[in-house]
Amino acid sequence: MSSVQPLPASEPSSFKKVQKGETLIEIRNLKMYFPVLEGIVFQKAIAHVKAVDDVSFEIKKGETLGLVGESGCGKTTTGRCILQLEHPTAGDIIFEGVNLNELDQKGLIPVRQKIQVIFQDPYSSLNPRMKIGEIIGEPMKVHGIQPDPGKRRQRVAELLSICGLNPAFAERYPHEMSGGQRQRVGIARALSLNPEFIICDEAVSALDVSIQAQVINLLEDLREEFDLTYLFIAHDLSVVHHLSNRVAVMYLGKMVELAESDELFDNPMHPYTEALLSAVPVPDPTTEKQRRHQVLQGEVPSPMNPPSGCVFHPRCPLAVDSCRQVVPPLEEKRPGHWVACTQV
Amino acid sequence: MAKLLDIKNLRTQFRTSGGVVKAVDGISYDVEEGETVAIVGESGCGKSVSAMSVLRLIPDPPGRIVEGSIEFQGRDLLQLSAEEIRKIRGAQISMVFQEPMTSLNPVLSIGQQLTETICLHLGVSEQEANKRSRDLLGMVGISDAARRLKQYPHHLSGGMRQRVMIALALSCEPKLIIADEPTTALDVTIQAQILELMKDLSRRLGVALIIITHNLGVVARYADRVNVMYAGKIVEMGSAEQVYHNPQHPYTVGLLASVPRMDQHRGKRLVPIEGQPPDLTRLDAGCAYRARCRWAVDRCTAEIPPLEELADKQFAACWRSGEMQALRREAS
């Protein structure tokens, strides 16, 4: 891998330079409610989908935080709120000491450089009419950090080779590449602006096992080489466990557990996490025969009308009466191990 | 136990503008009564096509089964007339597809879809079929069956729809169910519910299962025997224990090393399989895996290795499978 020269960027003074191990981004009481509209001409909100409901966490520089949960639990919405692709209903997102919710579109421009995203679907996230070189070069053009076309081409070639692709691919179109190669293009594009923080939203979920491992290793290498911080959103628990330092589990818009990766997988404390882990089969027939398989009954309730109290209580094996009324706070039950359950 | 399904040298090809795609290229395997066989492999390896071939569901053109035999209870399905195979589909061999939304008819109620199948194959009265439909829904864990029968697929969640698909598959007491990625579209907790249900029903009713999947964990938990496919061929075959604990084909070794393990501590780097799967229109005289194989030798370019028995009922198609244990040890 070749090393990349940092590009000169105009840094507004309000952003603090964060050292490794310090808090890079902090999410405080984030809420994102989507209105459910009725009517065609005169629309009014008849209800709200509580996609993210009072979620707080922080990510340290150089760390990878994994965010897991089933479809509809709000993990992607959390990512989109951080990217300011949604305007949160309430809460603060503090990145390098600046509250992103207080910035206007213009103020967000430097943020868009620092926070990048890698999407799930390598087919729909690349413009089919643009060449790979244009796709990777465009962010640099937009942000004016490499206005000279010759130098930009050079940088694109560099980024392609960092991501394990032949620099000649710059002249190709997305349809000429395989899924794994396209995902590498998506990664090269995210890197083109020398970001601090990358949100990987199901970045390896669409890939076959052997290709997935290649991309996982690439993400790990890039994290080391460029001091990156990741928010790794995925539903595949094995992948999240492998890549993340800490893991947060979400259920129906709430964060139910947060701990060091190995700690969470060895000693899950929240009944939902426990059920989730036991539902994932591990690739070893002998281990599988010995494992206890706890099958969770029922399905995830609608986020439009979530259960009262603890949102997990209708499916919870430990639920008691008080769970129906009291929303359990996320508490530190062991050092660094946070759980939102009154019964553990 | 007796052989229920015996596939010999099956070849299914598709004619495309880019050339002939050898989607399934000479595979042979069998399924015994009541057992669960998994077919595992990555996209495009031919696992779905091999299953569709069993029920002769390959669209022709462009597809065609060019060679082989598929014996089901002693009859070669490839020799049957269209009328005869239709009597087998859904009745003796049924199928559960990946996408429960597109495999149920959106304009027919759940009840209509179930009773239609039952009346058609079992020749019973509509009342009888109705009663049976209610029982079936109960069996797959859907409560309030009478109400559900009147509902349409869009009323149901993904997991519910897959339960209905399973009820449909079971409706005529088949001997064999082919499940093509039955839980890929579902969340993990729902996936566990559906797979436990299928396994439980197959045990109780003595139905054999072919599970087609790319998920190595699902295979480990549910399969008795495993067929690993790569580029249209079975490259390794054996019991789940044999294949996972003592893989004899470099592709199987590679697959197992590339999955992250949730049950082991972090810090170990994954060992991916380098490169890409080959273009199925351009397969040559050598082993299709050799370009990605770390142990390839000259012979791999010249000749395709046959699937040979190495140990008790464990087969692999590799010239070097005899040394595989040593090679694996050396690599780790």
Instruction: State the average pLDDT over residues B236-265.
Output: 93
Residue B126 burial (10 A CB sphere; 0-12, 13-18, 19+): exposed
Backbone angles phi, psi at A116, to 5 degrees: -120, 170
Query: CA of B255 to nearest chain A CA: how many angstroms apart?
Result: 6
CB pairs under 8 A between A and B: 135
Query: Residue A5's pLDDT band (boundaries 50, 70, 90)?
Result: very low
Q: Do A71 and B269 touch (CB under 8 A)?
A: no
Residues of B in Cβ contact (< 8 Å) with A180? 276
User: How confident is the model at residue A6, as a pLDDT?
Assistant: 42
Write the DSSP assignment of A150-211 as a string of letters. Answer: HHHHHHHHHHHHHTT--GGGGGS-GGGS-HHHHHHHHHHHHHTT--SEEEEESTTTTS-HHH
Residue to mutate among A204, A210, A241, A245, with most B CBs inside 10 A, is: A210
CA separation for the pair B272, A175 (Å, rounded): 24
Q: Do A211 and B221 touch (CB under 8 A)?
A: no
DSSP A120: S
Q: Which residue of A lies nearest to B45 if distances are taken between CA atoms?
A: A208
Residues of B in Cβ contact (< 8 Å) with A220? 269
Among the residues of chain B, which ranges form H helices?
A: 47-54, 82-88, 100-103, 110-122, 126-139, 145-150, 158-170, 188-205, 216-222, 240-245, 250-258, 298-302, 324-331
Contacts of A125 (CB under 8 A, 6+ apart): A119, A186
Residues of A in Cβ contact (< 8 Å) with B217? 238, 280-283, 288
- ipTM for this model: 0.85
User: How confident is the model at residue B102, as a pLDDT?
Assistant: 82
Query: CA of B187 to nearest chain A CA: how many angstroms apart?
Result: 6
3-state secondary structure of B269: coil
Q: Which helix (H) or strand (E) holds B233?
A: strand B233-239
Q: Do A285 and B240 touch (CB under 8 A)?
A: yes
Paired tokens of B158: 């993904």
A95-100 contacts at long range (C-beta below 8 A, 24 or more positions apart): A95/A15, A95/A24, A95/A25, A95/A197, A96/A15, A96/A16, A96/A17, A96/A18, A96/A24, A96/A25, A96/A196, A97/A14, A97/A15, A97/A16, A98/A14, A98/A15
Q: Do A299 and B271 touch (CB under 8 A)?
A: no
Query: CA of A278 to nearest chain B CA: how many angstroms apart?
Result: 9
Q: Which residue of A lies nearest to B193 if distances are taken between CA atoms?
A: A295
Q: Each residue of B59-94: pLDDT tens digit?
A: 888 899 999 999 999 899 999 999 999 989 988 999
> Among candidates B100, B156, B214, B196, which has minimal Cα distance to A279?
B196
Interface check A214 vs B, CB under 8 A:
yes
Q: Do A281 and B43 touch (CB under 8 A)?
A: no
**Length, in residues, of chain A:** 344
Q: Each residue of B105-114: pLDDT tens digit?
A: 999 999 999 9
Q: Each residue of A9-47: pLDDT tens digit?
A: 444 558 888 888 899 999 999 999 999 888 888 888 888
User: How confident is the model at residue A2, as a pLDDT?
Assistant: 40
User: Is pLDDT of A7 > 70?
Assistant: no
Q: Do A280 and B240 touch (CB under 8 A)?
A: no
CA separation for the pair B306, B313 (Å, rounded): 15
CB neighbour burial string for A294-321, b if at least 16 within 10 angstroms, e if fewer? bebeebbeebeebeebbbbbbbbeebee
Q: Each residue of A213-240: pLDDT tens digit?
A: 999 999 999 999 999 999 999 989 999 9
Q: Do A217 and B270 touch (CB under 8 A)?
A: yes
CATH domain B3-331 topology = Rossmann fold (3.40.50)
Residues of B in Cβ contact (< 8 Å) with A276? 188-189
Query: CA of B63 to nearest chain A CA: how many angstroms apart?
Result: 23
Residues of B in Cβ contact (< 8 Å) with A277? 262
CB neighbour burial string for A177-200, b if at least 16 within 10 angstroms, e if fewer? bebbbbbbbbbbbbbbbbbbbbbb
User: How confident is the model at residue B229, as a pLDDT?
Assistant: 96
Interface check A279 vs B, CB under 8 A:
yes
Q: Each residue of A268-295: pLDDT tens digit?
A: 999 999 999 998 899 999 998 888 777 7
Closest partner residue to A238 among B160, B244, B259, by Cβ? B259
Residues of B in Cβ contact (< 8 Å) with A288? 217, 220-221
Predicted model pTM: 0.88
User: Is pLDDT of A1 > 70?
Assistant: no
Instruction: State the average pLDDT over residues B47-70.
Output: 91
